[in-house]
C-alpha cells in the first residue's frame, strides 16, 4: 500500500509551467581576446596550424583533474560546464569550490547537469545558483524531486533519456572533452577502484564548436533552470551565508585530503600554470546529438551522433580500433564490422570483462554477440578487473580494482574519436552524447600504442577453440592454459548474467 501511495504521488508530480520561472536565453562570451588564456593560446599556436585545432591527451586521472582545475583558475570571463555525473566527494567538492571562487572574481559560470545525478542535491544546487555569477540548469528533469526510482516508474518513456555529454570550456578558448564525469573514481582519487579513461584538452576552432553545442543545450526546451525547483527555505537570504560557510568548510577539508597532497607531490601541479603545454595539431569536427533527441526517435545524421561516426570507420583502409566500456553492437554493427573484415581491414575491440564491468546488465547484452564477432574475424579483448603492475605503481592509491571507461575509436592510425559515446543501444538511440573526430597521425598513433599496451598486459584475448567454444587467453602469461569461463568471476555471477542475456530487452541497455 505504501509503495502504491508513493508511486501515485510521483505520478501526480508535474514539471513547472514555463510562465512560473525565468529562463533567459544566453550565449557564449566571445569577447575574450584580451585574457591570459588568449595570450597563452597565441604562444601555443604552431607556425603551420592556421585553421587547425590543438590537442593534448589526458589519459592519467590525476593529470585530467589538474587540467580542469587549471582551466577554472585561468578563466577570466566565462566557464561553461556540462556533465552527466558530478559526485559529492573529494574531487567534486574541490571543483565546485573552484567554480565558486571563479564566480567570486567575476567569471560567469553556466553549469548544466543531467538531472539523474542530482538526487539529494537540490538544496546545494539551488544555493549555488543564487550566486549572481552562477546559473545552474538541469537536463530533462524529474518532476518528482524525491526518489529517482519512483520518478522513473511514473514517467519512464521521458526520463529514460539522459544527457551523457561531458565538457568544460574556459573563456571560449580552451576546453576539456572526453569520457570522464566528475568523481573520485574518474581521477584516481579513491582506493578501491579506478576507471581507465581518456579526455583531450583542446584549443583552436574546435573550442568554438563545443561552445556552440553548449549554447544549443543550454537554451533548449528540455533544459530547466534550477531556480524552477528551488524551495523558499533553500534560497532564504538569511540562510545563504551560513550555507556558504558550511560548503567552504567542506572544501577546506577536501583541500587537506590525501589526494591533494598526492597532487602537490606530482609533476602535474606545475601544469596548473598552463605555460608548459605542447599541443599537437589537426583538423577536428565536433559531433553531438541534438538536445531534443528524446523527442525524435528516428536515428539520422541531422539529430544523432552515431551516423556521423560511420564515414570515419567506413573510410578505413587498414585498421579500425574500438574502445568502448559498454559494448552492445547489435546485428547491424556486427554486420558492418564483418564487412570491414571482408575488405581485409583489421578490426580490434577492447571492452570490459564481466569482472571489470561496473554495469553487469550491459555485459548480458554484449555476450550475445561475441561468437558472431569472432566468427567474422574481429579480434576481441576484455579489460582485466585489476590494474597491471605498471599502472598499480603509478597510482598513489594502490587501487585494487580497475574498470575501462574510455570511449575512443581509431582508423588507420590517422583518425581518432574521443568523447562520451559508447557503442550500445542507449548511446545510439536514448541518451545524448558528444565527442570530437580528430585528424592527426601522431595522436592516433598514441591511441594505437596505448591500445597495444593494454591488450598485451591488462586484457584477456577472447577466442574460439576448435569446437567453436569461447576461451579466454592471458597475453601477459604466455603458455598459460585457456580459461573456459569468464575470468575472475563466480558461478553465480555467470549464472545471473547468462540468464539476463536471454530476457533483457536490448533497447534498454
Helices (H), 256-369: 258-264, 306-314, 330-342, 360-366
Residue 329 has which C-alpha cell? 553492437
Find the catalytic residue in 161, 164, 293, 415. 164
Residue 412 bears catalytic tag: yes
- The residue written with cell numbers 504521488 in the block is 9
Find the catalytic residue in 171, 197, 234, 424. 171
Q: Pseudo-torsion of CA 344, 350, 353, 356, nearest 10°?
A: 180
Phi-psi region of 242 (alpha: psi -120 to 50; beta: other; left: phi over 0): alpha
Question: What is the DSSP secondary-structure string of 223-274?
Answer: EEEGGGG--TTTT-TTTHHHHHHHHHHHHHHHHTSHHHHHHHTSGGGGGGG-
Q: Are 40 and 278 within 8 A, CB to CB?
A: no
Find the catalytic residue in 117, 405, 415, 424. 405
Residue 407 bears catalytic tag: yes
- The three state secondary structure string of 74-127 is HCCCEEEEEECCECCCHHHHHHHHHHHHHHHCCCEEEEEEEHHHHCCCHHHHHH
CB burial string 173-183: b at 16+ within 10 A, e below: bbbbbbbbbbb
Residues 6+ apart with CB under 8 A from 344: none
Find the catalytic residue in 89, 117, 155, 166. 166
Report CA torsion sign: 9, 18, 106, 71: positive
Q: Nearest-CA neighbor of 85 among 172, 250, 195, 6?
A: 195
- What crossing angle do the helices spanning 122-129 and 240-255 adopt, rounded to 10°? 110
Q: Is 399 helix (H, G, I), strand (E, B) or coil?
A: coil
Find the catalytic residue in 197, 412, 424, 439. 412
DSSP state of 483: B
Q: Are 413 and 441 within 8 A, CB to CB?
A: yes
Find the catalytic residue in 80, 407, 415, 424. 407
- What crossing angle do the helices spanning 90-104 and 240-255 adopt, rounded to 10°? 120
The CA–CA distances, whole Å, from 190 to 76, 149, 183, 260 equal 31, 27, 9, 12
Positions marked active-site: 164, 166, 171, 405, 407, 412
Amino acid at each position: 500500500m505504501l509503495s502504491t501511495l508513493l508511486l501515485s504521488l510521483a505520478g501526480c508530480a508535474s514539471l513547472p509551467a514555463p510562465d512560473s520561472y525565468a529562463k533567459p536565453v544566453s550565449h557564449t562570451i566571445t569577447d575574450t581576446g584580451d585574457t591570459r588564456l588568449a595570450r597563452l593560446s597565441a604562444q601555443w599556436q604552431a607556425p603551420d596550424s592556421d585553421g587547425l585545432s590543438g590537442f593534448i591527451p589526458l589519459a592519467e586521472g590525476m593529470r585530467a583533474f589538474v587540467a580542469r582545475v587549471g582551466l577554472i583558475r585561468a578563466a577570466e570571463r566565462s566557464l561553461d560546464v556540462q556533465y552527466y555525473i558530478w559526485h559529492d566527494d573529494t574531487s567534486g567538492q574541490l571543483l565546485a569550490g573552484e567554480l565558486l571562487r571563479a564566480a567570486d572574481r567575476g567569471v560567469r559560470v553556466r553549469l548544466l547537469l543531467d538531472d539523474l545525478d542530482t538526487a539529494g542535491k537540490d538544496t546545494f544546487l539551488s544555493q549555488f545558483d543564487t550566486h549572481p555569477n552562477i546559473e545552474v540548469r538541469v537536463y530533462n528533469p524529474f518532476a518528482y524531486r524525491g526518489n529517482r526510482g519512483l520518478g522513473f516508474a511514473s514517467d519512464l518513456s521521458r526520463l529514460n533519456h539522459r544527457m551523457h555529454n561531458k565538457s568544460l570550456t574556459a573563456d571560449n578558448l580552451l576546453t576539456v572533452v572526453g569520457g570522464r564525469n566528475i568523481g573520485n573514481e574518474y581521477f584516481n582519487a579513491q582506493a578501491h577502484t579506478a576507471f581507465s579513461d581518456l579526455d583531450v584538452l583542446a584549443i583552436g576552432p574546435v573550442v568554438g564548436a563545443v561552445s556552440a553545442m553548449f549554447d544549443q543545450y543550454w537554451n533548449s526546451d528540455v533544459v530547466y533552470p534550477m531556480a524552477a525547483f528551488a524551495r523558499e527555505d533553500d534560497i532564504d537570504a538569511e540562510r545563504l551565508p551560513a550555507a556558504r560557510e558550511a560548503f567552504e568548510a567542506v572544501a577546506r577539508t577536501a583541500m587537506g585530503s590525501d589526494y591533494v597532497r598526492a597532487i602537490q607531490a606530482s609533476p602535474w601541479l606545475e601544469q596548473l600554470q598552463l605555460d608548459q603545454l605542447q599541443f599537437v595539431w589537426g583538423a577536428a569536427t565536433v559531433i553531438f546529438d541534438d538536445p531534443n533527441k528524446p523527442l525524435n526517435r528516428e536515428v539520422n545524421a541531422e539529430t544523432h551522433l552515431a551516423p556521423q561516426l560511420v564515414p570515419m570507420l567506413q573510410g578505413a583502409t587498414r585498421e579500425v580500433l574500438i574502445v568502448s566500456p559498454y559494448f552492445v553492437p547489435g546485428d547491424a554493427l556486427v554486420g558492418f564490422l564483418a564487412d570491414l573484415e571482408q575488405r581485409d581491414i583489421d578490426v580490434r575491440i577492447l571492452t570490459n570483462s564481466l569482472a571489470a564491468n561496473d554495469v553487469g546488465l550491459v555485459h548480458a547484452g554484449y555476450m550475445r554477440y561475441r561468437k558472431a564477432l569472432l566468427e567474422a574475424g574481429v579480434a576481441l579483448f576484455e579489460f582485466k578487473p585489476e590494474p597491471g603492475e605498471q599502472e598499480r605503481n603509478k597510482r598513489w592509491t594502490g587501487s585494487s580494482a580497475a574498470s575501462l571507461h574510455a570511449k575512443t575509436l581509431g582508423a588507420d592510425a590517422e583518425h581518432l574519436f574521443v568523447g562520451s559515446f559508447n557503442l550500445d543501444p542507449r548511446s545510439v538511440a536514448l541518451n545524448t552524447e558528444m565527442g570530437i573526430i580528430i585528424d592527426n597521425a601522431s595522436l592516433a598513433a598514441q591511441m594505437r600504442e596505448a591500445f597495444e599496451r593494454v591488450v598485451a598486459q591488462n586484457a584477456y584475448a577472447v577466442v574460439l577453440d576448435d569446437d567453436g567454444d569461447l576461451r579466454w587467453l592471458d597475453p601477459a602469461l604466455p603458455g598459460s592454459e585457456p580459461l573456459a569461463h569468464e575470468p575472475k568471476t563466480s558461478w553465480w555471477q555467470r549464472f545471473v548474467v547468462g540468464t539476463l542475456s536471454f530476457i533483457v530487452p536490448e533497447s534498454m541497455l
